[in-house]
Structure 1
Amino acid sequence: MTASKSLDTFKVELDELLENTKTIKEENLHSQYQLFINLAKLDHVLFKVNTYDGVFNDKKIELSNHHNCRFGKWKEGEGKTVFGKTKSYAMIDAPHSIVHSNAIAAIECVKKGSCLQDINKVIGYFSEAENASNELFDILDNMLHEVK
């Protein structure tokens, strides 16, 4: 084989290696984005678990608003850096706020005793929170598909 042919073969192999490296990098980045979304969902689930625990086990808990919870801080920090340019990112606040306002209302209702006669109030708060939570998770999934 001539030197020219060897160089051509080397160049083709190098180009293939660079293309494979690019593919691996893109797949790794997508896995990182999936991890971000899953951690954000986990933080949100933990917030809801704490709320249920506070209501059903009569624990004294203080819930933060949707800006100051771990998910809210993630949204304004790492979440904004990675997903801020997606269409769905701008849709997070509405359902996230509904989850928090209903969780806080349920805790306050039990704490004040104003819903002890009508359990449907608490069920209503939790139902609204769960519906908004499902919407929020759909938005997070959409963000993952939209991120470039």
Structure 2
Amino acid sequence: MKNVISFNHEIKDASEKIASTSKFLKLAGYKVDHIIFKSNAYRTIFRLGKGKEFFSDHRSCNLGKWYYSEGMKSYAHLPEFIQLSEPHELVHRYAEENLRIIEVPDPMRALIKNANRLRENFEKMEAASMKLFHLIDGLIEKLKNNSHSLEQLEVYQLQKA
């Protein structure tokens, strides 16, 4: 019987580690999504608007969908989570601003005329992206350190209900 109980605890521990790793991979995956988003933003501008179908706003991308649903329910009490919102929105905003600049009848002329503004927007997009990635890494570390136990999270969620 002692072996069965021990084995049961080992299975529970392994299951919890897998679930925890899954959360971390999901968050890391959002960073990859935004690297691809930024690459598409650059490509779309320099292809004069071709590829704009890859653009999404900050609420429609995978991170945005998670942030405003599952993430908000589970992590709204963490400052590291709340701080994700602004830089995430800015990454999308600056890419979208650049797209609007070239969505004109003569996109090549707009590209040349607005080269400095496009560059500035891309620099701002990159700065916001770096901040976003840093915050995601901080959230992952916070969850790894598990300074907020599952019991604390459950109490917080019950208080909200």
What TM-score do you get using the length of structure 2 for normalisation? 0.71
Alignment match of 2:9 (pick from 9, 13, 19): 19
Offset, 1:137? 1.1
Considering only aligned residues, what root-mean-square deviation do their CA atoms show, in Å?
2.3
- The 8 Å contact of residues 88 and 143 in structure 1, kept in 2 or not, is answered as yes
Written as runs of structure 1 = structure 2, the 5 A alignment for 1:1-148 is: 10-11=1-2, 13-60=3-50, 61=52, 63-112=55-104, 113-114=109-110, 116-147=112-143, 148=146
How big is each residue's C-alpha offset from its partner over 1:65-101, in whole Å with a ceiling of 9 and x where there is no partner?
Answer: 3223332112223333454443311111110111111
Which residue number in structure 1 is paired with residue 156 of structure 2?
A: none
* Paired residue type of 1:71: L
Cα distance, 1:142–1:120 mapped onto 2, change above 3 Å: same
* Paired residue type of 1:69: C
* Paired residue type of 2:69: G
- The 8 Å contact of residues 40 and 74 in structure 1, kept in 2 or not, is answered as no
Residue 140 of structure 2 aligns to a residue in which SS? helix
Mean alpha-carbon deviation: is it higher for 95-104 or for 108-117? 108-117
Identity level (%): 25
Q: Distance in 2 between matches of 1:29 and 1:69?
A: 23
Q: Which has the greater radius of gyration?
A: 1
Which residue number in structure 1 is paired with residue 149 of structure 2?
A: none
What TM-score do you get using the length of structure 1 for normalisation? 0.77
Which stretches in structure 2 are left out of the alignment for 5+ residues?
147-161
| Number of residue pairs the alignment of both structures matches | 138
